[in-house]
Each structure stands twice: as C-alpha cells, then as structure tokens.
Structure 1
Amino acid sequence: MIPQETIRTAGLTRAFGGKEALSDLTLSLSAGEVCGVLGPNGAGKTTLLKLIAGLLRPTAGRASVCGFDSVRQQDDVLRHLGLLIETPVFYDHLCAQENLALHLAYMGTAGVVDDALARVGLSDVGEQPVGQFSLGMRQRLALARATVHRPAVLLLDEPLNGLDPIAVRDMRTLFRSFAADGMSVMLSSHILGEVEQTADRVIVLSQGKLAAAAQIDALRAAHPHDLEDHLIKLMNGGSSCRN
C-alpha cells in the first residue's frame, strides 16, 4: 500500500563546485496534492526534482518517494514515479503508441497504452508519427509516457513552457485530474498565475533556500490584493512564511 505521504525530504542539500544550489530543504507531499514549486531561474527548482527522483545525489540530507530512499532504492522510486524533466525526447519516426510501448519495455513495467493516450486526448493520433506532432501534442504525449504505468507521484519541470493559452488550460485540467485520482503532483514554474490556478500548496525557493511553504487558499486570504507582489518578494529573498 502506498503511504499517504508520498514525498519527503529532510535537510536536502546539493552543491556544485562548492556552491549550494539547494540548501537544507525539508518538505513533504501527500497523495492527491498538487504542489507548485516557484522560483526564478537558478533558484534550485530543477535540482530539487532531480534529487527527489534520484537523478542527482545529495551533498547532504535525503529524499524519499513512497517510503523508498531516492538514492539507495532508486529502482523502487522509479516504479512509483512519473517524470517530465527537461525537453521530452521521442522516436519521431515511430507513432505515439510505439513510443509508449517502448518506454514500458525499457522500464520493465506494465501499463495500458491506449488508456494513457485517451487520458491526454491523443487517441485519434495514436498511430501518427510523433515527428508530425505540435509542441502541445508532444507535451501531452510526454504526460502520457510519464503516467502510463499509473505512478503515485508525478514530477513536472516547467511543463507549460512554450504552450499557447488553450494548451496551458488543457494541461492544467490534466494535472488536476491526476491529483483527483490520488496522484501527488509536484510542478516547478516561474509563472505565478499558473501555479496559483493549479496548485493546492506552493513552496517558494530563493537562491536554493526555502523562502515559503503555504497553502494557496491561505495565501489568498492573507494577500487578497497583492498576492503576486508577495510571491515575487519571496522569490527575491523576502520574509518566509509557512502554514
């Protein structure tokens, strides 16, 4: 059984060349929760997601997914994890169905390709070469690939970059639908409005440190007229808040 708490970090730290990209970060995420990770470029958002996934080793501290240590039990972590980090790469000469089938074979896990494509609205183009897909369609396929094995946790790094407003709205609906099914969704972004509309909770990173961790509703109540200004202040190293 998957524990209610799906992600936990404790004192998570990562340094590159002697400089800390992420410093002493402790947080947790529960099943069915959407958590937005806000911060300017270089704040440590991608580093955080890679540490949780076990793609980077921490300099100090630890991360776990569904109770499995991200470093020592990475195979178990990956079975419970869906990832969309950096630009998705596909075999463009193959169709969407073939790309997902190859992914499942590579992962050595089970999943229903047609169901995953239907979930993201790609049923009608499942046999079309991916090289003919638009950017929005490729992002949908990336989501299908990340979720075809029905993971407990979905990590998304800047998933809305370059998408038009209609595609952004559709992706936002998909993120919420995954959470409604009990999946934990953590998405990084520097787009304040999209995080505010999508997430239940937000954490704000500034220069690799946790500047704030709060429920979106609580932030709206505390800052009914200046929420955007408040979040920008936190991203620039302003006073922290947690609730």
Structure 2
Amino acid sequence: MSEFNFTGFISFEAAYAAPTATATAKIGELREDEMGGRWRYCKAGAAITNPLLGLGCYAQPADNTPSATAIGSMTLIVTDATCTADQYANGTILIGAAAAYRRFYHVRSNTASDGTYTTLTLYHPIRYAIAGTEWATIVPSPYSDVRHISAGAGLMSVVCMALQTVTSGYYFWGKTRGPAYGIVSSTVPGAASNDRAIVFQGTDGALIMADEAWNAGNSQQYAGYLLPRTGSTYGGGDQTFMLQLE
C-alpha cells in the first residue's frame, strides 16, 4: 500500500507557505487545491530567485548494477558509492535485460550508501528474477532537484512553478496544474488571433508563443493555454494561463 494518497487535499494557505529547511512531506507527493490545481512537493537544488519562470528537473540518471534478486522481493541492492538516504525516493529504476523481461520499477525509499551499495525498497515486487549480471538505471524523482532552467539550458524539462522564491536546499510545494501567471520571453501571447497555445522557453523557463518556439530544430515544452479573452479591445495579450504539466 502506498504511503500517501494519489491526490490529497492542500489548502492555498499551505501551498503558499514559506519553504522549509526540513521536509514536511515526501518528495513528489501530489496534492490538489480547492480549484483543482495540482501541487508537487519539491526540493530546490539551487536558489530559486524568479518564481514566475518554469522550473526544471536537474536530477540526472545513475547507472548501477543490481544484485541477484528473487521474484517477489520488495527490496533490491544496487551498486552506488555515494547516495544519501532517500535520494532516489519516488524515482524509478529500469532493469536492463532481454526486452521481454525488461522492467520499470518505482522506488519507495533507499538507504544511505555503505560506500559500495544501497538498498532500494520498491512500491511493487520484482516480477522476474534478476541474475546480477544485468545493467540498471535509476532516475531520481523529477522533484528532488528543482532549479532554474538556465542551470542546464536546452537540456532540462519544466516540472513545476514555485510561485515564490526558495532558498537553495529548501522544500516547497511547486504548482504543476491550474491557473498560473508567467514571465514572457518576447511577445506577450494572445495579442493576435488564434494565438492561444504557449510553451516554456528552453533557455530560461519563460513563456513563449508556440508559433515562435515550434520550428525547425526546436520542440520546446508545452506549458498550457491562455485563459482570458485577449486582443486589442482588452489591451493586447495576457500572461495568465492554464498550467498543464500534468
């Protein structure tokens, strides 16, 4: 059984509460507010100084070798010389094997490395026996190291918006779905007819119109769509949009 509900409730007061130095929820935990907006519990890997930009996942995959493990086991020992406790919590691990036996598992928690290994506890049991000769790749929770997109321009995906500044290493609720407001990269969206879809600029996480971003050599990440009526009668474009990261 999961340690937390798929969608729990969060008040706006709690969602906008000041970030904390210690965690008060599990990384990646999902909550919904009164208006159907969604929030994920995140950790800032670096200072978040502009809360109106899309924030990206900085965490990178880790290659490991799994130990021999029997079918039905809820734990898995893998090589890792440096990880800290729960560094991979709510992440995933892919066990490399023949295609028919290749499996994707969800990580509940992990122990701190003993200098050689870490033990993963899984949300669901091992489906096929592991011989110990396979390869494995762990992908940490995308919410475990959230930073400004500029930290890895063009090579990061937006996972949330913070909506407030966050100190490096602090924990906060990042918004992933629902009404939001963002900084634009160039032209304010919505001034022209049929100008509704917006994406995140790959260099900084600012908003940019889809027709400016989707061209030869670029497929920047979809952010959502404009909410209010726009156009010259209403002062041009707008930056209030329906965030659609999940």
TM superposition score normalised by structure 1:
0.27
Greater share of strand residues, 1 or 2? 2
TM-score when scaled to structure 2? 0.27
Q: Which structure has the larger Rg over C-alpha atoms?
A: 2
